Amino acid sequence: MRRMIFASALMLLATGQAAAVSVWELSRNCGRETDQYCKGVGFGDAMTECISGYYDQLSPECQAIVDRIRSGEKVSLF
């Protein structure tokens, strides 16, 4: 199992798709803010657009995630 996970990670790095914000990271670092500012907005681009609009009110951890998304990283399930 570990070999399969490692091989998958290497494949993602090789294809350039490893630079992504996982939904878990977004939830962990921005969960409070999304509940406070963007409740009911939905997921995907609508959520990242909404949370970006509150950048100055976000925690430093959440700002770091938003910065990564703004720099071109996609939000991924993994």
**Three-class secondary structure of residue 38 per DSSP:** coil
Query: How far, CA to CA in Å, does 5 sit from each of 8, 30, 63, 65?
Result: 5, 26, 29, 24
Could you list the residue range(s) of the whole structural domain that residue 31 is in? 21-76
15 in a structural domain: no
How many domains does the chain fold into?
A: 1
pLDDT confidence bin for 22, thresholds 50/70/90: confident
pLDDT for the residue numbered 75: 85
Q: Rounded mean pLDDT of the chain?
A: 80
37 in a structural domain: yes
32 in a structural domain: yes
12 in a structural domain: no
11 in a structural domain: no
pLDDT for the residue numbered 32: 94
pLDDT for the residue numbered 44: 80
Sign of CA dihedral 45, 30, 61, 22: negative
pLDDT confidence bin for 42, thresholds 50/70/90: confident
